[in-house]
Structure 1
């Protein structure tokens, strides 16, 4: 099968987009997305479940015992051991063959070498999400509002005597699915507080919309300044992902992320695959589904139902062999490069403007180069040979991937592309963005927003670095961890009265 055929197939993918998320394209030219469903990104992601490293836990200053208890609390509901089939097994064995050692078997722990991680997909292939953790909730004391969008947090001034005063969060303004405005208030005189968990894009955006941010930026949008805090929206990071698509001469199972190679040079190697037609429906394209949207280049206003249907029809017309294969990808640790977030307008339904500055720091680029080098060796390994065409050398796969529309960046036509240029040209997101409300800058170590009272931010926006190879386990853990800490603090306060 010729190179032109595969380029056409990858080009076709660029016209397809349908998703329960909200697409956003940053200034960097990388297509990204923001979850807009109960359960957040765990409803949309590739499902890989792995803990943060012990070093990360110590560096952040968390209580290790409570962290482990909280991970186990999450894992009882949403984490499972994935079945290891042909493609993932070949990638695992390829990693071991090229020296990403030791082999650590199945584990949730973050350890150097190759391992099989957890999955939020159970043995029947059903996804379990952060929303499943609501089974722990006391339904007599919790009210869950769906389709309710918070527009801003309300503040009053707490005069503590003398000339000093602090803003105190005491309520929120939100709109329901019909656009009707509502207000909800904390009970006066209580120790209650507002906890924001809107994610790395939503939490700094909401703080700004509520008057907490750089004063000059807020005034540009006619927002009354509650607290001049220029660090809100700063320190934004997104772990860059680069992948090589490998067409397979043999059938390949549908698989998302199950194996990871944790290298000692700072790159994580993972893989996904898909035999994308099944006996029930030719409209289920698995990894290359219209629901994924990673390869979308079509402007949002052009993603009409008619355009999506046309793209599906075109994909259905392809020969089944066009969908055999998968990606081997690398994501870098950290990253070191940082960017920023600012408001586009005052509508919370619209995405903020984000710049991640992928590979601005040369150390990030070096990690990518070493990661791609490792992927090349895996593809050429004996373990992976059943899933690679003999007449398609790795250089051809690199050029095929580099010339496909994986992002909105301009393409280079030279045939002797360096790995550094490949990293820059094919950079994508793996949806692990973080920052904007970081500990020590916007919130304290108890996640209380500095400079105001009765307000915390508890989510990935507080991270300085993305934990583990994939952060969702730690984000879910942190919710339970801080819930226990807050309740314990209240209990101690009550006992000392």
Structure 2
């Protein structure tokens, strides 16, 4: 667990920022506390019960940062980055091996020209493309899921500044409440709508951010008129939170699963039945660790990258592999090598 925590902290130090917490978000924080989502945990990156202030990818100047910026911490002598390139297929070799081994990829550039990139090892023969299915694993694509989401739209009586998800309420019945605002609308996102949502809307702290006659019942009616899905609406939905959640359920667009650990990959994220191929992304998760997967995916990439480097050192293969690309063409618009400590 120490290595996992270290990987999280490394990503956090490189990429995330503390939000400014202006009037609208502060009112929501106070509304959650008034509704009993306790304790108040202040600014923290930990996933703990209560009300907290999270982080965002926007700095104080409003500039958004992304995972691509982590590349500037890579060793520029051992990494090549291909822009506008899409992997078309993975190449495997089976010559002299009991099971297939990934040996390279066929990728397509922005001009739709195909190229081959192979991992070259002193002891590896030339890769042989296999046209048939290399490995038939019926568990690929199985177990996919997403957290459920319900939205409550609250019209503002006056314009407020745009803000993304800054305040989070985490309840002991495993629902997550997040809030963002833009123009004259606010959004209340939760994995399972619960009574505290109504309490936040009716709280004294939230009073100035809704029309005085806007009751929770009327706001639920408003949501039932919005085509969030193709499910039928029930007249009891505004009075029954369970039915309301069923009728207005949405995806939160954080899909995961499909290449789960123990089904498609092993505990080291190596594809079962294939050598030299790993899957390290959200498709390996059995369930979502929170409302958004990106922090955990970035942590996993850092954590496994460190482990892979350590494993290569242990077996003495650190300097035995390089990347060769064919055909040799003018790839000015395709290939970009990031210099050390500079994007």
TM-score norm. by structure 1 comes to: 0.60
Are residues 1:170 and 2:170 paired? no
1:154 is paired with a residue whose SS is strand
Q: Does the C-alpha gap of structure 1 residues 469 and 412 become closer, same or farther in structure 2, counting only changes over 3 Å?
A: closer
Are residues 1:412 and 2:320 paired? no
2:39 counterpart residue number: 102
Q: CA deviation at 1:410?
A: 4.0
Between Structure 1 and Structure 2, the one with more helix by share is: 1
1:119 is paired with a residue whose SS is coil
**1:366-406: per-residue Cα shift (whole Å, max 9, x none)?**
xx2xx342211110111111111111211110111121122
| Distance in 2 between residues matched to 1:153 and 1:424, nearest whole Å | 41
2:316 is paired with a residue whose SS is helix
Contact preservation (8 Å) 1:166, 1:453: yes
2:142 counterpart residue number: 234
Contact preservation (8 Å) 1:105, 1:115: yes
1:308 counterpart residue number: none
Contact preservation (8 Å) 2:135, 2:273: yes
Runs of 4+ in 1 over 4 A off after TM superposition: none
Contact preservation (8 Å) 2:281, 2:297: yes
Are residues 1:494 and 2:316 paired? yes
| Distance in 2 between residues matched to 1:117 and 1:173, nearest whole Å | 41
1:395 counterpart residue number: 217
Q: CA RMSD in A?
A: 2.0
| Distance in 2 between residues matched to 1:167 and 1:231, nearest whole Å | 18
2:177 is paired with a residue whose SS is strand
Task: Say which of 227, 244, 248 aligns to 1:422.
Answer: 244
**1:251-271: per-residue Cα shift (whole Å, max 9, x none)?**
322111001111100100111
Matches within 5 A, 1:89-488: 89-160=26-97, 165-189=98-122, 224-275=132-183, 324-331=184-191, 368=192, 371-407=193-229, 409-412=230-233, 414=235, 417=238, 418-488=240-310
Contact preservation (8 Å) 1:244, 1:401: yes
2:12 is paired with a residue whose SS is helix
**1:12-58: per-residue Cα shift (whole Å, max 9, x none)?**
xxxxxxxxxxxxxxxxxxxxxxxxxxxxxxxxxxxxxxxxxxxxxxx
Mark the structure with the bigger radius of gyration: 2
Q: CA deviation at 1:158?
A: 4.9
| Distance in 2 between residues matched to 1:471 and 1:416, nearest whole Å | 30
| Distance in 2 between residues matched to 1:451 and 1:476, nearest whole Å | 26
Contact preservation (8 Å) 1:403, 1:411: no
Contact preservation (8 Å) 1:399, 1:415: no
Q: CA deviation at 1:140?
A: 2.6
| Distance in 1 between residues matched to 2:122 and 2:254, nearest whole Å | 39
| Distance in 1 between residues matched to 2:50 and 2:13, nearest whole Å | 26
Matches within 5 A, 1:18-37: none
Q: Does the C-alpha gap of structure 1 residues 69 and 249 become closer, same or farther in structure 2, counting only changes over 3 Å?
A: same
Aligned residues: 312
**1:196-241: per-residue Cα shift (whole Å, max 9, x none)?**
xxxxxxxxxxxxxx99xxxxxxxxxxx7321120000001011111
Contact preservation (8 Å) 1:231, 1:436: yes
Q: In structure 2, list runs of 5 or more residues that go unmatched.
A: 318-343
| Distance in 1 between residues matched to 2:190 and 2:132, nearest whole Å | 43
